[in-house]
A and B are shown apart, each in its own frame.
Chain A
Amino acid sequence: MSIEKTEDSNFEPLIVAFCCNWCSYAGADLAGTSRLSYPANVKIIRVPCSCRVNPMFILRAFQRGADGVIICGCHPGDCHYSTGNYYARRRMTLLFSMLDYLGIERGRTRVEWVSAAEGVKFSTVMNEFSKTIHELGENKKLRDLRCKEFLD
Chain B
Amino acid sequence: MQKIGVFVCWCGSNIAATVDVKAVVDAVSHEPGVVYATDYQYMCSEGGQSQIRQAIKDFGLTGIVVCSCSPRMHESTFRKTAISAGLNPYMVEIANIREQCSWIHKDREDATEKAIILARTAVAKLNLNRPLTPGESPVVKRALVIGGGIAGIQSALDIAEAGYEVDIVEKSPTIGGKMAQLDKTFPTLDCAACILTPKMVDAASNENINLYTYSEVEDVSGFVGNFTVKIRKKARSINADICSGCGVCTEKCPSRKAKDEFNMGLSNRGAIYIPFAQAIPNVPVIDREQCIKFKTGKCGLCEMNCPAGAIDFKQQDELVERQYGAIIVATGFKPISLENFDEFSYSQCPDVITSLELERIMNAAGPTKGKLLRPSDNTPPRTMVFVQCVGSRDTSGCGKTYCSKICCMYTAKHAMLIKEKYPDIDVHVFYIDVRTPGKNFDEFYRRAVEEYGVNYIKGMVGKVAERNGKLLVQGSDLLADDQIIIEADMVVLATAIEPDESARNLATMLTASIDTNDFFTEAHPKLRPVESPTAGVYLSGVCQGPKDIPETVAQASAAAAKVIGLLAKDKLRSNPCVASSNEMLCNGCSTCENVCPYGAISYVSKEIRSAGKMEVRRVAEVNEAICQGCGACTVVCPSGAMDLKGFTNKQIMAEVDAICR
Contacts and interface: CB of A to CB of B under 8 A. Distances in A.
Interface of A: 14, 16, 25-26, 28-29, 31-33, 35-38, 40, 43-49, 51-57, 60-61, 64-66, 80-84, 87, 91, 123, 151
22 contacts: A16-B656, A32-B99, A32-B103, A37-B104, A40-B101, A43-B117, A43-B659, A47-B631, A51-B631, A52-B634, A52-B644, A52-B647, A53-B635, A64-B656, A64-B661, A81-B628, A82-B533, A83-B597, A84-B630, A84-B631, A87-B635, A123-B104
Given A40-B105, A57-B652, A48 B630 contact: yes
B439 interface: no
A32 B597 contact: no
Given A48-B647, A52-B644, A151-B661, A29 B99 contact: yes
Interface in B92-133: 96, 98-101, 103-107, 110-111, 113-114, 117-118, 121
A61 B656 contact: yes
**3 residue pairs, one from A and one from B, having the closest CB atoms:** A32-B99, A52-B631, A64-B660
Contact of A87 (B110, B632, B652): B632
Interface string B623-653: 0000011111011100000001001010011
A55 B660 contact: no
B70 A29 contact: yes
A56 B631 CA distance: 14
Given A40-B113, A44-B100, A82-B597, A49 B533 contact: no
Q: What size tier do the contact residues of chain B reach?
A: 35 or more
Contact of B653 (A33, A52, A60, A84): A60
A114 to B, nearest CB: 13
Interface of B: 70-72, 96, 98-101, 103-107, 110-111, 113-114, 117-118, 121, 513, 533, 577, 595, 597, 628-632, 634-636, 644, 647, 649, 652-653, 655-657, 659-661
A36 B104 contact: yes
A56 B649 CA distance: 9
Contacts of B72: 25-26, 29
Contacts of A65: 660
A6 B336 CA distance: 66
B597 A81 contact: yes
A50 to B, nearest CB: 9
Nearest to B98: A32
- Residues of B contacting A: mostly: helix
Given A48-B647, A49-B631, 8 more contacts: A25-B70, A43-B114, A43-B118, A47-B647, A48-B629, A52-B652, A53-B635, A87-B595
A11 B527 CA distance: 45
B650 to A, nearest CB: 11
Contact of A48 (B71, B114, B121, B577): B577
A29 B656 contact: no
Nearest to B653: A60
B100 A29 contact: yes
Given A52-B634, A84-B632, A35 B100 contact: no
Given A25-B72, A29-B72, A45 B99 contact: no
Given A14-B660, A52-B634, A32 B104 contact: yes
Looking at A33, A65, A91, A151, the one whose CB has the most chain B CB atoms below 10 A away is: A33
Contacts of A151: 661
A52 B107 contact: no
A33 B102 CA distance: 10
B632 A49 contact: yes
Nearest to A59: B656
B100 A28 contact: yes
Nearest to B652: A57
A38 B96 CA distance: 15
Contacts of A61: 656, 659-660
B9 to A, nearest CB: 15
A81 B105 contact: no
- Residues of A contacting B: mostly: mixed
A60 B104 contact: no
Nearest to A52: B631
B659 A28 contact: no
A45 B659 contact: yes
A138 B96 CA distance: 27
Contact of A37 (B105, B652, B657, B661): B105
B111 A40 contact: yes
B631 A57 contact: no
A45 B95 CA distance: 10
B659 A33 contact: no
Given A25-B72, A29-B70, A65-B660, A84 B100 contact: no
B649 A54 contact: yes
Contacts of B106: 37
B661 A81 contact: no
B632 to A, nearest CB: 4
Nearest to B655: A45
A66 B658 CA distance: 11
A55 B652 CA distance: 12
Nearest to B99: A32
Contacts of B118: 43
A46 B75 CA distance: 13
Contact of B104 (A25, A31, A83, A84): A31
B99 A28 contact: yes
Contacts of A46: 71
B70 A32 contact: yes
Contacts of A28: 99-100
Contacts of B110: 40
A151 B117 CA distance: 15
A51 B656 CA distance: 17
A48 B627 CA distance: 13
Contacts of A80: 630
A83 B598 CA distance: 10
Contact of A83 (B99, B632, B653, B659): B632
Contacts of B636: 87
B96 A44 contact: yes
Contacts of A35: 103-104
Contacts of A52: 630-632, 634-635, 644, 647, 652
A51 B657 CA distance: 20
B631 A43 contact: no
B437 to A, nearest CB: 24
Contact of B635 (A43, A54, A82): A54
Looking at B72, B107, B630, B644, the one whose CB has the most chain A CB atoms below 10 A away is: B630
Contact of A16 (B628, B629, B659): B659
Looking at B101, B106, B659, the one whose CB has the most chain A CB atoms below 10 A away is: B659
Contacts of A31: 99, 104
B99 A33 contact: yes
A62 B98 CA distance: 27
Contacts of B649: 54, 56
A33 B660 contact: no
B100 A32 contact: yes
Nearest to A16: B659
A29 B104 CA distance: 10
Contact of B630 (A29, A51, A66): A51
